[in-house]
Amino acid sequence: MAWFILIMGGLFELGWLTALKFTEGFTRLLPSVFVGIFMIASIGCLGLAVKSIPLGTAYAAWTGTSIAAAAALGIFLFDEPVTLIRLISIGLIILGIIGLKIES
């Protein structure tokens, strides 16, 4: 269950990162509110996960989840370039998270 909560925290981190793009420097209220809500949810999930997952492992998986998801979201939602190196790099991040899960 802790790993599920941790992955959800990484996805909430992706939520605030995406909302941040739409705040226009925190001049738009609704996206700014979502940034705050998603940040609290993300850190809350990390806090719950570290009760049973080692801190270093949890933090690496938490950030890795959002990094890989943000890179993929950039490709699909924001028309960022799709290159072989980019796809391999996303895959390596995901493999790293899987490795951490297996190890713990």
Kindly report, residue by residue over 36-65, the tens digit of the pLDDT: 999 999 999 999 999 999 999 999 999 999
Residue 104, pLDDT score: 77
DSSP collapsed to 3 states, the chain = CHHHHHHHHHHHHHHHHHHHHCCCCCCCHHHHHHHHHHHHHHHHHHHHHCCCCCHHHHHHHHHHHHHHHHHHHHHHHCCCCCCHHHHHHHHHHHHHHHHHHHHC
Q: What is the mean predicted confidence (pLDDT) over 70-74?
A: 92
Q: What is the mean predicted confidence (pLDDT) over 10-25?
A: 93
- The one-letter code for the residue type at 90 is I
Residue 103, pLDDT score: 86
Residue-range definition of the domain harbouring residue 75: 2-103
Q: What is the mean pLDDT of the chain?
A: 94
Domain count for the chain: 1
Flag whether the pTM goes above 0.85. no
